[in-house]
Structure 1
C-alpha cells in the first residue's frame, strides 16, 4: 500500500499554470535552470554545432565559387558568338527612347511649336550623347579612317560633334520639325561584319536608293564600302509618302574600322544620325531601319538587325 502511494506521488501531474505563469516559466525555469526549454549546456552545444555547420557550408560555397571564377575571363565572355546566348546577329537600337513610364512604347511624338513639349526629347538625346563625352578610357581612343584602323589595344573615337545639323547647338533640329534620331548597333564580342562591298553581289532586299549609294561609294574607292550600311523606310505606302527625304550623318552606315568589339576600355559603338528633313506633320509615321551586312539577318519579331519606331510631329 505504501509503495502504491509513493508511485502515485511520483507520477502526479504537474501543477496547472495560467497562460502568463506558463510563459514566464518557459522563459526561465528556476527549478531546472532552463531558458526557453534548454539548459545552458544544451544551448552551448547547439550553438557550437550550428557555428561549425554554417562555417563549413560557407567554406564549401566559397571554395566552389573560387573554382568557378577561375574558369572566367573578366575581359571577354566564356562563350562567344553562336556559342553564347546573345548569338552572332546584332540588334539595332534608336535614341532618344520614350519615357520609362511608357516603356513599351516606341513613339517619338512632340509639338514643334511648344518648347516644353519637345524638351524631353532634346534632353534625352543630350543625356545619351553625354555618355560618349564622359566615357572612361579616353587615353585609348585614336582618330581612325579607312586607311588608318586602330592599332592593337586602341579604339576609334566617335566624334559626336560631327553630326551637323544634328547637334546640341541646333537642339537636334527638333524645333524645325525635322528631328534627328540616332542609331547604334548592339555590341557583340569578337563579331566582325561581312560587308556588302561587292556591287555585283548586293542583297536583292536592299532598297534601290541604298544600292545606288553603295555603287557611288565603290566608284570612289573600294575602302569606302567597308561599311555596315543603314536604311530607314516607311513601313506602309502611306508611311513612305509621309516620311519625306532622309539624310544619314556622318555617313550611311557604321564604318568597319570600329569592329570587332574587343571590350577594350574606351570603346563606344559608332553612331548614325538619321535626319528627317521634312516629315509630314500631324501624321503618325511607322519607320523601320535596318543594318545591312551579309551576316546580319533581319527578324522584326526578335528585333534582330532592324529596329521599328513611330514618329509624329505636330
Structure 2
C-alpha cells in the first residue's frame, strides 16, 4: 500500500525572508512605541509639531501638506464655483420687485392686517397708549413716536427712488403704470405735527394703516342696500350719504369701544381725511412701485373720559377682509388711558 506523507513542507526561502521583514517591522514599531511611551507630554507635543527624525510637522511632511492643500483648494474652489453658478441661475428667475409667491400661495395670504400708531416702545407686547396732556415731557414721547413714523410722509423724497412719479389721484383718476398716488398730509386736519397730534389737549390722534399685500385688490361695500348687519350704524349712515357709487369704493374704517361702557367712555370721534372714513380704492392693488406710501386714516378722539382704561377696536371693512376678534383678523385693538 502507498504510504501518505503527512509531514509539513518546510517554508521556502522567499517566505522566510518575508516573515523576517515583517518581524523586523513589527519589532521596529514596538521599539518606537516604547520610545514614544518614554516621552513626556511636552516632548510629545513638540514632536507632533515638528519631528526632526522624519522632517514632519503636524504629522505630515512638506510634500504631503502641499498635495493635500492643493487637493482641497481645487475641491472647494470648484464647489464654490458650482454654488455661485446655481445661485446666479436661481436669481435670474426672481424679480426684486415682484414676489414669486403671491396671495393664496404666499405665507401672509390674502387677509391684510390692520396696524396702529403710535405704539408703545418700552413694552413690545403692550397696546396701551397712556399719557398726560398736562405734562409736556410725558406726551412728547408719543408725539416723537408719531413724528418718526410719519417722517416719510412729510418728506416723501426720502423714500423716492428711480423714476417713480407721484400724482394726485381721485376715484375717477387712478394711477397708471409707473405712477403712485400721493398721501397728502394736509388731509389729516388737526392730526398734524404742528399741533402735536392733539395730545396736549387730551384729544389724541391715532393713525391706522393696512398691511401691504402684493397684488391684493379689495372687494368694496359700495351698495348702500347691501351692508353687513354688524357694521356700525354710524358707518352705514356715512356710506348711504355718498351719492356717487364710485366714491363708495373704499375700504371703510370704524373705531368703537369694545364693550358698552367703553363706547360711552370713548365719546365722539373724527376721521381724517374728512368725509372719507377709509382707505380710497385708488391706492390698491399694491405693486411695490417706486415711491409708494401706504394710505393712512387718522382718528381723533375728541374727549375720551380720563382716568379710565378704554378698550378700543378699529376694524377694516371690505368683502374680502375676514374678521375675527379673538385672532385679531381684520381689526386692531389698543387701550387709551388719559391721566
TM-score bucket (shorter structure): over 0.9
Alpha-carbon separation, structure 1, partners of 2:306 and 2:262: 12
Q: Over residues 61-106 of structure 1, what are the superposed CA-to-partner deviations in whole Å (9 max), with x where a residue is unaligned? A: 222222221221222111111121111111111011110x300111
Structure 2 gaps, min length 5? 1-19
Match of 2:173 in 1: 148
Query: Does residue 121 of structure 1 match 2:137?
Result: no
TM-score by length of 1: 0.93
8 Å contact 2:180–2:291 — kept in the other structure?
Answer: yes
Query: Does residue 297 of structure 1 match 2:322?
Result: yes
> Aligned pair in 2 of structure 1 residues 9, 194: CA closer, same or farther (>3 Å)?
closer
Match of 1:75 in 2: 97
8 Å contact 1:129–1:160 — kept in the other structure?
Answer: no
User: Equivalences for 1:173-192 in 2 at 5 Å?
Assistant: 173-192=198-217
Alpha-carbon separation, structure 1, partners of 2:328 and 2:119: 16
Query: Does residue 136 of structure 1 match 2:157?
Result: no
Alpha-carbon separation, structure 2, partners of 1:34 and 1:152: 71
The count of aligned residue pairs is: 307
Residue aligned with 1:170, SS: helix
TM-score by length of 2: 0.86
8 Å contact 2:164–2:290 — kept in the other structure?
Answer: no
Structure 1 gaps, min length 5? none
Residue aligned with 2:251, SS: strand
- Deviates further, 57-66 or 110-119: 57-66
User: Equivalences for 1:298-313 in 2 at 5 Å?
Assistant: 298-313=323-338
Q: Over residues 103-161 of structure 1, what are the superposed CA-to-partner deviations in whole Å (9 max), with x where a residue is unaligned? A: 01111101111111111100010111102223214851111112222222101000123
Q: Over residues 216-247 of structure 1, what are the superposed CA-to-partner deviations in whole Å (9 max), with x where a residue is unaligned? A: 01x3x222211110000000111111001011
Match of 1:27 in 2: 49
Alpha-carbon separation, structure 1, partners of 2:186 and 2:39: 85
Alpha-carbon separation, structure 2, partners of 1:47 and 1:158: 61
Match of 1:65 in 2: 87
Larger Rg: 2
Q: Over residues 27-54 of structure 1, what are the superposed CA-to-partner deviations in whole Å (9 max), with x where a residue is unaligned? A: 1111100001111111112111211221
